[in-house]
């Protein structure tokens, strides 16, 4: 199985590394990080650069294609080489997946039309503009599309996909190997659980990226 993970400048690292750590451990699986151009791709926090040797043009029929989100996502919303590639590989992929605002890129490319999907809580309404029905579930499976909520939700999505691809036993084995028995020290990871002051603080911090709804 080949998994292609798309990178672009300003990606959020955990969006892609969470699912990578899960899917990369499935049997007989090759993961390739791909971008429009080869070379170093720098993340949103600007302190991490991943080296890309394979371009999207080099990967023609991945079994799984995954697009993460991040502050670089708005620059990937115009039609062009990436969107064309996404539409093409989506025709033969077993799974087309996204994490966080990666679903907005899939939506803009036109592949999520009429589907249910999720994204980061702050970007939820933007899905509607592309004919996508937003869902507040952390992981949404609709047809061969798997979308995850913000950043860390990609781990849960990838474990669900791992089960669908390789069976429950394999997915659980991966979960135990990466010791994924989460114990967050706070209960503030969702709009529903976070204190009002925390929601306000997070909304303010994200306001440049997601203008007030």
Q: By CB under 8 A, is residue 169 in contact with its own copies?
A: yes
Separation of alpha carbons 160 and 168, rounded Å: 9
Catalytic residue list contains 100: yes
The three-point CA angle 134-174-44 to 5° equals 50
Stretch that binds its own copies, among 56-64, 76-84, 107-115, 193-201 (CB under 8 A): 193-201
Separation of alpha carbons 196 and 188, rounded Å: 10
Beta strand 116-117 with 133-134 is parallel
Q: By CB under 8 A, is residue 65 in contact with its own copies?
A: no
Stretch that binds its own copies, among 41-49, 55-63, 82-90, 109-117 (CB under 8 A): 41-49
- Whether 190 contacts 136, CB under 8 Å: no
Binding residues for its own copies, rule CB under 8 A, total: 67
Q: By CB under 8 A, is residue 31 in contact with its own copies?
A: yes
Separation of alpha carbons 108 and 88, rounded Å: 14
The residue from 1, 59, 77, 191 that contacts its own copies (CB under 8 A) is: 191
Q: Which is closer to its own copies, CB of 77 or CB of 202?
A: 202
Q: Which is closer to its own copies, CB of 87 or CB of 138?
A: 138
Torsional sign, CA 100, 114, 168, 185: positive
Q: Which is closer to its own copies, CB of 25 or CB of 83?
A: 25
Q: What is the set of active-site residues?
A: 100
């Amino acid at each position: 199985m080949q998994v292609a993970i798309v990178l672009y400048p300003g990606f959020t690292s955990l969006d892609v590394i969470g699912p990578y750590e899960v899917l990369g451990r499935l049997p007989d699986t090759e993961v390739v990080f791909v971008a429009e151009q080869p070379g170093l791709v720098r993340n949103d926090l600007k302190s991490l650069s991943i080296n890309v040797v394979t371009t999207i043009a080099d990967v023609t029929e991945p079994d799984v294609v995954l697009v993460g989100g991040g502050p670089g996502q708005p620059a990937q919303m115009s039609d062009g080489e990436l969107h064309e590639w996404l539409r093409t590989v989506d025709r033969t992929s077993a799974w087309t997946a996204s994490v966080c605002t990666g679903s907005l890129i899939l939506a803009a490319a036109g592949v999520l039309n009429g589907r249910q999907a999720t994204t980061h809580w702050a970007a939820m309404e933007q899905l509607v503009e592309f004919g996508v029905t937003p869902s507040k579930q952390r992981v949404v499976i609709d047809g061969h599309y798997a979308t995850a909520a913000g950043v860390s939700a990609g781990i849960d999505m990838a474990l669900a996909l791992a089960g669908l691809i390789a069976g429950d036993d394999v997915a659980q084995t991966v979960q135990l190997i990466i010791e994924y028995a989460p114990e967050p020290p706070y209960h503030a990871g969702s709009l529903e659980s976070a204190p009002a002051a925390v929601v306000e603080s997070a909304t303010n911090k994200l306001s440049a990226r997601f203008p007030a709804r």
